[in-house]
Chains A and B, each alone.
Chain A
Amino acid sequence: AQKVTQAQTEISVVEKEDVTLDCVYETRDTTYYLFWYKQPPSGELVFLIRRNSFDEQNEISGRYSWNFQKSTSSFNFTITASQVVDSAVYFCALSGFLLTFGGGTRLMVKP
């Protein structure tokens, strides 16, 4: 069975601080995909990134970066110079065939 653990249920930072959201996963599949979604206070789910299990290159998109380490089964997400608009719940998810979500991390960025 697949499992995704986001140990940080809630994080609070002050604007402009860097913050890392942790994601640890378990799977027996050799081929799988990892995702991050953002859920702002308005409630919709916004796709951020998808990464396959064969691509361990880190990725950067503006202030967002992702660190995939297969050796530790982790796919961590860092926001650099956080802004109030980054306040949201962030979900990590794992897909071999079905999509399994972690419990989410609520990020609060204070001005």
Chain B
Amino acid sequence: EAQVTQNPRYLITVTGKKLTVTCSQNMNHEYMSWYRQDPGLGLRQIYYSMNVEVTDKGDVPEGYKVSRKEKRNFPLILESPSPNQTSLYFCASSPVPGLAGGAETQYFGPGTRLLVL
């Protein structure tokens, strides 16, 4: 089954304790992305990756890091989480945008709900 998986699905942590949220896709997609969802703001892009070893900032990258060492995995790292990073996080993947005439449909993981105390 084609899917995007995220782990953990729920996480409660304390300020300053480093954490990693994993994301993996089995569709051989080049493009992967992280979003955070906050009430009234919709989803905002944190980082994206066009392919292995190619990453770039989205709209709200502060306080986050990513890496893309393998095509299927795109972990999100919070080196020193703060309460304002409490949010619902989504990972997504698609073929590379811009090919075949335009943006490709992004497929989303199930979400990771993070609470930073």
Partner-B contacts on A (CB < 8 A): 4, 6, 9, 31-33, 35, 37, 43-45, 47, 50, 52, 91, 93, 95-104
Contact = CB atoms under 8 A, between A and B. Distances in A.
A100 B43 CA distance: 8
Interface of B: 33, 35, 40-45, 48, 58, 88, 90, 92, 97-98, 101-103, 105-108, 110-111, 113
Contacts of B101: 31, 52
Nearest to B41: A103
Given A33-B102, A35-B105, A45-B90, A98 B43 contact: no
Contacts of A52: 101-102
B88 A102 contact: no
A4 B42 CA distance: 10
A47 B41 CA distance: 19
B107 A47 contact: yes
Contact of A31 (B88, B102, B105, B108): B102
